[in-house]
Structure 1
Amino acid sequence: MSTDTTENSTTESLRDKVINAIKTVYDPEIPVDVYELGLIYEISTYPVNNVYILMTLTSPACPAAETIPAEVEQKVKAIEGIGDVKVELTFDPPFTQDMMSEAAKLELGFM
């Protein structure tokens, strides 16, 4: 049982590292990171520290559509010990302001 606890805490710390890396990526038009904007739908970690991220953009016509997912992948790959990183882009469900954290809404003047 202690092995499971160790694995869970290791997975959690890896997940925290991934989230912290993602929080360094900003939409160039909005002064809020993509995590707080609610653009990250899923973060999954797998054995040998492989990471899968499902994300969206504020709109399909986002001018940074090429750069934001690539930057997310690059930042996560830079974490020591990370294996493979796959970032998948989806527009289902479409982004809405309701997906933003309270901190993001406050920063953007929606609260």
Structure 2
Amino acid sequence: MSDLRDKIEEVLRTVHDPEIPVNIYELGLVYEIRIGDNNRIGITMTLTAPACPVAGDIVREVEEKVKELEEVSDVDVTLTFDPPWTKDMMSEEAKLELGFL
């Protein structure tokens, strides 16, 4: 199971918020990755702002890229704003890249 999780995390690192030059995984926008029966994937994620104009594009890109993994049967992406995203959720690497350290 952890191999599939690693692959999903790797794919999520290829999805970027167009307004910030860091991938959504390092930004801390992915709250949860669930691997269910028949490798049905559930991803709970947020956005940097509730009014993000590209929200649909980011969610669609996550769904499409994770579905491309051979082992994955289906993907459900849930968007949440609870808890709201803060800069503290970013990885050290992302903070460094954006000049927050």
> If the length of structure 1 is used for normalisation, what is the TM-score?
0.89
> How far apart, CA to CA, are the structure 2 residues paired with 1:29 and 1:14?
29
Report the structure number with the largest CA radius of gyration.
1
Aligned Cα root-mean-square deviation (Å): 0.6
Equivalent in 70, 75, 84 of residue 65 of structure 2: 75
Correspondence for 1:93? 83
Matched, 1:27 2:17: yes
SS in structure 1 at match of 2:2: helix
Q: Is there any run of 5+ residues in structure 2 with no aligned partner, and where?
A: none
> How far apart, CA to CA, are the structure 2 residues paired with 1:63 and 1:106?
26
> How far apart, CA to CA, are the structure 1 residues paired with 2:44 and 2:51?
18
Correspondence for 2:38? 48
Q: Between Structure 1 and Structure 2, how many residues are aligned?
A: 101
SS in structure 2 at match of 1:66: helix
> How far apart, CA to CA, are the structure 2 residues paired with 1:109 and 1:82?
36
> If the length of structure 2 is used for normalisation, what is the TM-score?
0.98
SS in structure 1 at match of 2:43: strand
Q: Is there any run of 5+ residues in structure 1 with no aligned partner, and where?
A: 1-10
Matched, 1:61 2:54: no
Correspondence for 1:5? none
Letter in structure 2 aligned against 1:36: E
Q: After TM superposition, which residue ranges in structure 1, 4 or more long, deviate above 6 angstroms? A: none
Amino-acid identity (%): 60
> How far apart, CA to CA, are the structure 2 residues paired with 1:101 and 1:47?
30
Aligned 8 A contact 2:27 2:94 in 1: yes
Correspondence for 1:6? none
